[in-house]
Amino acid sequence: MTTDIDYYELLQCERTADAATIKSAYRKLAMKYHPDKNAGCKDAEAKFKAVNEAYDCLKDPQKRAAYDRFGHAAFRNGGGHAGAQDFSGFSDIFESVFGEFMNGRGGGRQQQRRGADLRYDMEITLEEAFHGKATEITVDVSAQCDGCQGSGAKPGTKARTCHTCAGQGKVRAQQGFFVVERACPVCQGSGQVIADPCGDCGGDGRVERTKTLEVNIPAGVDEGTRIRLGGEGEAGARGAPAGDLYIFLHMKRHAIFEREGTTLFARAPISFTTAALGGTLQIPGLDGKSHEIRIPAGIQSGRQLRQRGAGMPVLQGRGSGDLVVQIEVETPTKLSTRQRELLEMFRETETGDECPESQGFFAKIKKAVAG
């Protein structure tokens, strides 16, 4: 957890930064510390989790406003995680103590609390991220009880007004100079009591159910992309609105390509004769096409060649990124007798001008030794 580290400091942003700046900073840090790029590094893994937690808070206007005002204390009541439920819990405590003294908000009946938001982690391939896909997921959630339609009361009966709080959902107690307001212990803040509960849900208005949901994944999604399914989270108690389901996407490692934003990277080994004489290289793209990469004569290891528009599509936009191929010159390890003879003949004709970098290197060594 990062409860003592400032979220803005983690993302290397000013407190006045706009949403786009915060998102850009997060993406750079997430790429830098991603576990796939730092295999086995515990520090990088911890950093990756920390920047995700910070961004999860600051990208949400309500959570960010709470954090700016109260810091990490705004989220500690619900267990220390910066989630929507924790913010609600903090707000309720703040109102229960000071409700009578702030804008007259302490005297009304408590509002129904919506159900909890849920998280679902989905792993997809780079090809699926390129083309997009429609799929189905199965989740176990608390859903509205069909028997009582979420009311919690046995069919044919209704809940009655709680006599303890007179339907307000709150009770007050004097503590010194303060009047402290708390949720009614009899009706648990609902303002109503169910005398004859529903036999299917026991009066809660919710039952556990397995749901199959359709999910449309757009082309161009990246690691950490979040898809929201409104109203598909936990059902609220006794007819309260349901929360949302958030699907977080994770990319499987690809055998050929690595990705950075919309740019695809690939390493291509070539023979030393192709490097010397030049040629072409055929790279199969994620778009199903074969991309021809022209190799200039005399290319060196590490040189990068770019194919415009052959990378990942822009999420919810137009165009695509680039394909970048890094050349790795491979020295032959097995030579036939004829090949060795030809290379010996070539070596006899060398003047040193063929490889100016190596000639310059040895000249520097000779000068250094002489000095």
Q: Among 61-70, 208-217, 262-271, name the one with the lowest average pLDDT.
A: 61-70
DSSP state letter for 136? E
Distance CA(245)–CA(140), nearest Å, equals 11
337 Cβ neighbours under 8 A, 6+ residues apart? none
Distance CA(201)–CA(121), nearest Å, equals 29
The larger pLDDT score, comparing residue 161 to residue 222, is at 222
Q: Give binding residues as ranges.
A: 145, 148, 162, 165, 184, 187, 198, 201
pLDDT in tens, 149-166: 888 888 888 888 888 888
Distance CA(252)–CA(261), nearest Å, equals 15
pLDDT in tens, 82-96: 333 333 434 443 443
The model's pTM: 0.59
pLDDT confidence of residue 327: 95
pLDDT confidence of residue 87: 37
pLDDT in tens, 180-213: 788 888 777 778 888 888 888 888 888 888 999 9
pLDDT confidence of residue 51: 87
Alpha-carbon Rg for the chain, nearest whole angstrom, is 32
Task: Please tell me the CATH code under which domain 258-370 is placed.
Answer: 2.60.260.20
Contact 308, 325 (CB under 8 A): no
Q: Give binding residues for Zn(2+) as ranges.
A: 145, 148, 162, 165, 184, 187, 198, 201
> Looking at this protein, which amino acid is placed at residue 37?
K
Q: Among 2-6, 84-88, 182-186, 325-329, name the one with the lowest average pLDDT.
A: 84-88
- Label residue 115 by pLDDT band (50, 70, 90): confident
DSSP state letter for 312? P
Q: Tell the CATH topology of 115-154+199-252.
A: HSP40/DNAj peptide-binding domain (2.60.260)
Domain boundaries, the chain: 115-154+199-252, 160-193, 258-370
First to last CA, the chain: 57
